[in-house]
Amino acid sequence: MTATTDGSAGAMGPRAAAASTTTTTTTAPAFTSQGALDEAAARAAERSVAHLLGRQDPEGWWKGDLETNVTMDAEDLLLRRFLGILEPETARAAALHIRGEQRADGTWATFHGGPAELSATIEAYVALRLAGDAPEDPHMARAAAWVREQGGIARARVFTRIWLALFGWWSWDDLPELPPELVFLPSWFPLNIYDFGCWARQTIVPLTVVSAQRPVRPAPFPLDELHTDPARPNPGKPLAPAASWDGFFQRVDKGLHLYRKVAPRRLRKIAMNVAARWIVERQENDGCWGGIQPPAVYSVIALHLLGYDLQHPVMKAGLESLDRFAVWREDGARMIEACQSPVWDTCLATIALADAGVRPDHPALVKAADWMLGEEIVRKGDWAVRRPELPPGGWAFEFHNDNYPDIDDTAEVILALRRVAHPEPARVDAAVRRAARWTAGMQSRNGAWAAFDADNTSPFPNRLPFCDFGEVIDPPSADVTAHVVEMLAWEGRADEPRARRGIEWLLAEQEPGGAWFGRWGVNYIYGTGSVLPALTAAGLARSHPAIRRAVDWLRSVQNDDGGWGEDLRSYREERWIGHGESTASQTAWALIALLAAGERESEAVRRGIAWLAATQREDGSWDEPQFTGTGFPWDFSINYHLYRQVFPLTALGRYVNGEPALPGREAR
């Protein structure tokens, strides 16, 4: 991705016409023989191996950029303005990136080619004004006009309006109340903080402090141009019927607003101090919180409001961690990552290289295994609230996130380590045993696995007026459950009760059309690409009806060019399910599934492999501007820049070399 290079206020970037243009596609060549196709696949795999090996860090890890949307960049500037540390060069570089993402109609989207999004457009607009762009500049006037057409700031999501309230652009009275006394509720009480997913929990606790303090820093300019009626900028929202859950929680919120006026000061002060202690105890060694940008931003604000000055070690470390989320482009633009994914990228790269035929004792794989072993988490985190007797063991997604190892990463790291001939096999075995035990123990009551917690399925958090954006709970998903089942099969545990319950859950979750929903990747192609390899690894016959239905579905959604693609709108609109421009990563997921199902000689696989070979660039990589990763279905999307490298190589490697052999089994 590139941005504008001149930095002018009216410059438009490469996304300017995204809503009205189509991406050209490459039709896969028709190879005259099976031998010619096999040779092309082998050459493509060889080039890809060289490219990926060349991207490994000297310490042993891989990490691609994690691209999200401009709200990350806007909120970074708003935070720095709030704290009084916004530097002109930072504002200039951020504005260069934000302008580069604006489209011709003046709006911003949250993913490549997606529809205009109101909150993202508002936040981007405000950030550009902070950087010095004038409201009368053509690109700014177009954005403001579109915002007004959509109902103005009043129609933005709660989190956007919280940012605006920090500067007096929105009234705190017109935001949902979030009392800090929430931290007192025990884990068995409905709507305690552990009913929220870990990412939401880490955000909500500091926001209780912000909500209680209601700070307002003087706004550097008004935002009347973003209101439909500047004289009455905060129109009330009608109450839902009292008998509905929405109506019930709306009335609870009104009660909390009244409670705010009578809340005992001593109790509130104690609650905020407890919240502060909770926040500080969860700061990671690198200064961040949870390894992700949003909780870190709100934690810094909350602690600052409670008297932590910017030179306090906790604050200094927190701000330094936020600086590490910045990606500086060659043209001087600055993009903010929401998170960093070295563990995830490293285990996926290791699997890809091994399945492509890189020898198990290759120095790059051994170095990657050493690094992953050094990242193992051997202390308890918040997951122990639900599983207090379970010994720790596992891996997180990020460089530092010991409080929140995740089940998905842990399963994939085990699969990666088992592909490496490490010089200290006993060390690997010990780490894998700990991690497999922890992963199995995190199974939810329904037999499946979620990403971070067990049984994090309360229906109440998503009903809160405060939670109008993204998922705030962590229910089990087909993709994570599939990765765990595949891992257990590799460990020779496919016949154990936990694995069998996971398989039964997966079979029950298959959609009528044959696909599986993808929680952490887009979408049904990702879910199906995760489940089929797991089921066959666990011993299901390739003739099993569920596998044949999935194969038929994948064939039915293959694009005319030979690839596969699925737009993020499939999370909301049925017509997009399995449909979208062909991408390298999604084509690879479909191929991985079909190869696991024994479809190597099928026409669908031949065409898919030909598409990968034809679209590979000279340096062995693939281009993929589309977003194929998921943070929150529909609401928050991710372009993992390494997906376009590791998954195609995995598919090519399995096509060329056959399915990877499970320990004790022959290669398939």
Each residue's pLDDT tens digit, 26-35: 566 666 688 8
pLDDT digits (tens, 9 = 90+) for 33-72: 888 999 999 999 999 999 999 999 999 999 999 999 999 9
For the residues 645-668, what does the mean pLDDT come to?
85
| Domain 41-64+341-458+471-657 matches domain 67-336 at the CATH topology level | yes
pLDDT confidence of residue 245: 73
DSSP secondary structure code for residue 542 in this structure: T
Query: Where do the DSSP E strands lie in 206-292?
Result: none
pLDDT digits (tens, 9 = 90+) for 542-601: 999 999 999 999 999 999 999 999 999 999 999 999 999 999 999 999 999 999 999 999
pLDDT digits (tens, 9 = 90+) for 368-394: 999 999 999 999 999 999 999 999 999
pLDDT confidence of residue 20: 33
CA–CA distance, 277 with 270 (Å, rounded to integer): 11
Domain residue extents for the chain = 41-64+341-458+471-657, 67-336
Which amino acid is present at 516?
Answer: W
pLDDT confidence of residue 131: 96
CB 488 within 8 A of CB 507: no
What's the distance, CA 209 to chain centroid? 26
For the residues 180-194, what does the mean pLDDT come to?
92
pLDDT exceeds cutoff 50 at 279 = yes
Which of the four pLDDT bands, split at 50, 70 and 90, describes residue 25?
A: low
Return the closest-CA partner of residue 452 out of 324, 578, 292, 580. Answer: 292
pLDDT confidence of residue 250: 78
pLDDT confidence of residue 138: 97
For the residues 390-416, what does the mean pLDDT come to?
96
Q: Is it true that domain 41-64+341-458+471-657 has CATH number 1.50.10.20?
A: yes
Q: Which element (helix H / strand E) includes 266? A: helix 265-281
User: How many helices, marked H, and strands, marked E, lie in the chain?
Assistant: 22, 5
For the residues 273-285, what does the mean pLDDT come to?
95
CB 348 within 8 A of CB 642: yes
pLDDT confidence of residue 32: 64
For the residues 142-165, what does the mean pLDDT come to?
96
pLDDT digits (tens, 9 = 90+) for 119-148: 999 999 999 999 999 999 999 999 999 999
CA–CA distance, 193 with 211 (Å, rounded to integer): 16
DSSP secondary structure code for residue 574 in this structure: G
For the residues 80-89, what does the mean pLDDT come to?
96
Q: Give the residue, 59 or 9, on which the prediction is more confident.
A: 59
Mean of per-residue pLDDT scores for the chain: 92
pLDDT confidence of residue 2: 31
Q: Is the dihedral of CA 280, 286, 289, 295 positive or negative?
A: positive
pLDDT confidence of residue 23: 40
pLDDT confidence of residue 28: 62
The model's pTM is 0.92
The CATH class of 67-336 is: mainly alpha
pLDDT confidence of residue 104: 94
Which of the four pLDDT bands, split at 50, 70 and 90, describes residue 19?
A: very low
For the residues 623-630, what does the mean pLDDT come to?
96
pLDDT exceeds cutoff 80 at 1 = no
For the residues 535-544, what does the mean pLDDT come to?
97
- Distance from first CA to last CA of the chain, Å, rounded? 39
pLDDT confidence of residue 27: 63
Instruction: Calculate what percentage of the chain has a pLDDT beyond 90.
Output: 83
pLDDT exceeds cutoff 60 at 18 = no
Q: Is the dihedral of CA 39, 40, 43, 44 positive or negative?
A: negative
pLDDT exceeds cutoff 70 at 15 = no
pLDDT exceeds cutoff 70 at 110 = yes
Which of the four pLDDT bands, split at 50, 70 and 90, describes residue 109?
A: very high
Distance set, CA 391 to CA 398, 425, 433, 560, 644 (Å) = 21, 22, 11, 50, 36
pLDDT confidence of residue 246: 74
Q: Which of 50-64, 83-97, 221-235, 293-307 has the least mean pLDDT?
A: 221-235
pLDDT exceeds cutoff 90 at 495 = yes
Phi-psi category of residue 163: left, alpha or beta, with phi > 0 → left and psi -120 to 50 → alpha: alpha
Q: Return the SS3 of 487.
A: helix
Q: Which element (helix H / strand E) includes 336? A: strand 334-336
Instruction: Establish whether 224 is a catalytic residue.
Output: no
For the residues 170-181, what does the mean pLDDT come to?
93
Residue of 408, 409, 474, 567 with catalytic role: 408
What's phi and psi for 636, nearest 5 deg?
Answer: -145, 115
pLDDT confidence of residue 13: 40
Which of the four pLDDT bands, split at 50, 70 and 90, describes residue 236?
A: low
pLDDT digits (tens, 9 = 90+) for 318-343: 999 999 999 999 999 999 999 999 99
* Axis-axis angle for helices 643-657, 34-53 (nearest 10): 140
Return the closest-CA partner of residue 152 out of 140, 165, 161, 139. Answer: 161
